[in-house]
Amino acid sequence: MTQTAPSHTLVIEREIPHSPEKIWRALTEGALIEEWLMKNDFQPIVGHRFNFRSTPVPNWDGIIDGEVLVVEPNSRLSYSWSSMGLKSVVAWTLTPTTGGTHVRMEHSGFRSNTDAAYKGANWGWQKFIGNLEGVVGGLD
């Protein structure tokens, strides 16, 4: 009964009262990335392969494999994001505004199901999510 819907895209946009240059540093310098995202060996060089490492949970090693796809300083950054066989792409776009920067993050390539009931049901399942993610992620 495997049911997989077409891929989906998650978009998060925020106005942040800081310059694109400064946000770019937070997005691309390893020591700064570790402060808000994960431990890493990231470098803003197209083709560079890196890992993001978070705390392992049962059935998930906590490792995300990535490859840098797009580097346009202070403007666009994109990398692949693969974890336990689930491949996706993260793309950042920085646009200067009068008060700072419009930050757009697009994470695309998810499989998801469209039944809203599943979404509601998932809230009761947070504590198994690590296991589910690991087991299902290992499928393909």
Partner 1 sequence: MQAATENVFKALSDPTRRAIFEHLSRDGEQTVHALTYRAGVSQPAVSKHLRVLKLASLVRDRREGRETHYRAQPQALAPLVDWMSLYGTFWRDRFDQLENLLKRMDK
- Residues engaged in binding partner 1 (CB under 8 A): 1-4, 8, 10, 12, 14, 16, 18, 22-23, 25-26, 32, 35-37, 58-59, 86, 103, 105, 107, 110-113, 115, 117-119, 121-122, 125, 128-129, 131-133, 135-136, 138-139
CB of 4 to partner 1, least distance (A): 6
CB of 50 to partner 1, least distance (A): 17
Query: Is the separation of the CB atoms in 94 and 74 below 8 Å?
Result: yes
CB of 71 to partner 1, least distance (A): 18
| CB-CB neighbours of 92 under 10 Å | 18
Burial of 131 (0-12, 13-18, 19+ CB in 10 A): middle
The CA-based angle 39-76-22, given to 5 degrees, is 65
Tell me whether residue 47 or residue 127 sits nearer to partner 1 (CB atom): 127
Helices (H) and strands (E) in the chain, counts: 4, 7
Tell me whether residue 47 or residue 61 sits nearer to partner 1 (CB atom): 61
CB of 33 to partner 1, least distance (A): 9
| CB-CB neighbours of 79 under 10 Å | 23
